[in-house]
Amino acid sequence: MYSGKAATLLDLQSIAIGDLVEVSVDREGPKGEHESGQLVLRGAVMGPFGPSPDSSIVLKLESGYNFSMDVDRVRSMKVMGRAETMRVQRARSGEGPPSLPPVTLIGTGGTIASFVDHRTGAVCPVSSPDDLLYLLPGLGNVCHLSVRLPLSKLSEDMDPDDWMVMAREVVQAFGAGARGVVIAHGTDTLALSAAALSFVLRDLPGPVILTGSQRSSDRPSSDSFSNLFHALELAARSDLGEVCVLMHATISDGISAVHRGTRVRKMHTSRRDAFRSINSEVLGTVSEKGIQLVGPYRRADPSRVPYIDGTFSKEVLLLNAQVTLDPNLLEEIGMAKRALVIAGTGLGHVSSSLVPVLKGLVSVGRPVVMASSCINGRVNMKVYSTGRDLLEAGVLEAGDMTPETALVKTMWCMGKIGPEGAIVERFRDLFCSDVAGEVEPRSVHSAFPEPSADEGRGDRTD
């Protein structure tokens, strides 16, 4: 909460977090007297994330940007609306207006559900559902919101057990009457979790939307509010019946892209438009024009009863088949796991010195899947002699899946197969069918972006 002068200013008009206000602020402090005059701004009062919660107040402007203002520079503050706060509070107590569709927001940690600890400068995950709502005022008027916080982790620490926690939460949420579910997730492994949920969740009655944030919510350039807002809209109003990812479509807040959960990959370390559909078109967009889905996608059907199909084996490794992977090490690694996914070169190749090792692994019941380190395009092992040797060795093509989706699918297939019996044969049957739109029998178009020159300048790595 705000304290000191900031709290006093807010208390004067009983302004609470989430209230819409219009403020008039001095343009410059004493050091910039050449530029006097006042700035009039309108926005929702956010939680205190600035360095001095006792003397500055943060507004979420309509542009989506955060604005931190020194209390001493505030000339006037007018309340423009309290509805949002009311709705958030009603949603918290489960008393939202029945006209709004019920959506469950599942917080799991990550930047989108983090705040900056002003003592250490570190980004810390929120620890309660209320904290999450507190970070994001104004979301209560999108839907009747229930918040859950089953996990509070940076996403690089997420493991298959966490995927199962999320899957159970989704099933529970629909069971409790949710129309849609939003999962706030760290971006590092968001695509992996989306793929995992796509494989393990069956008969979804409505949308399951994962979203994250590339910039923490205390920063002016944060994408957390815009992504969460659009994700909640999508969960509340779309007829999607599958697991999707919603993230910025461009570097500004206006448009979000909707990606299939098995087809998305984080393709940039820091940009807000880092997430891209691979070998597949985006399913649609969310913007001020509303939700525009171009499909094809699986439609929602409220009569379906969702359930969890299977689990994930951790005994699978994704390996780069690069120049220095020697046969002995490959054999050691292969025998230490139950299955391997190789990110091969080009159409799906490895050094020919590795082929006999992979053949040996398959022959002792360890499935081997070949994806491509090119990421875009389709594995095709029928073109060159190395590929044909790999097929002959029993290595399976990952088609047009990303290496990461091939990894998750292999983990899911191995989760369904016990340690005994005709493992390789049963794996092949499971792996070579399309479970969740993750693979197409033939690539008709490839959605490979044109090289471009300058548009990155607007979104520096900072």
Indicate which residues carry an active-site annotation. 111, 187-188, 266
Q: Which is nearer to a copy of itself, 91 or 135 (CB)?
A: 135
Tokens of 202: 């069956």
**CA nearest 48: which of 4, 111, 79?**
4
Q: How far is the CB of 321 from a copy of itself (least distance, A)?
A: 8
Q: How far is the CB of 148 from a copy of itself (least distance, A)?
A: 23
Q: Which is nearer to a copy of itself, 204 or 343 (CB)?
A: 343
Q: Which is nearer to a copy of itself, 16 or 374 (CB)?
A: 374
Strand order from edge to edge, sheet including 102-107: 144-148, 102-107, 180-184, 208-211, 243-248, 256-260, 284-287, 290-293
b/e per residue, 169-203, with b = 16+ CB within 10 A? bbbbbbeeebbbbbbbbbbbbbbbbbbbbbbbbee
Q: How far is the CB of 83 from a copy of itself (least distance, A)?
A: 36
Q: Which is nearer to a copy of itself, 36 or 461 (CB)?
A: 461
Q: Which is nearer to a copy of itself, 433 or 452 (CB)?
A: 452
Provide the 8-state DSSP code for 205: S
| H/E segment holding residue 130 | helix 129-135
Q: How far is the CB of 210 from a copy of itself (least distance, A)?
A: 15
Q: How far is the CB of 159 from a copy of itself (least distance, A)?
A: 6
Identify the three-state secondary structure at position 200: helix
Q: How far is the CB of 185 from a copy of itself (least distance, A)?
A: 12
* Residue 35: other Cβ atoms inside 10 A: 8
The one-letter amino acid at 170: V
Identify the three-state secondary structure at position 417: coil
Task: Report yes or no: 210 and 108 within 8 Å, Cβ to Cβ.
Answer: no
Rounded to whole angstroms, the Cα distance separating 204 from 307 reads 8
Q: Pairing relation of β-strands 56-61 and 66-70?
A: antiparallel
Q: Which is nearer to a copy of itself, 84 or 459 (CB)?
A: 459
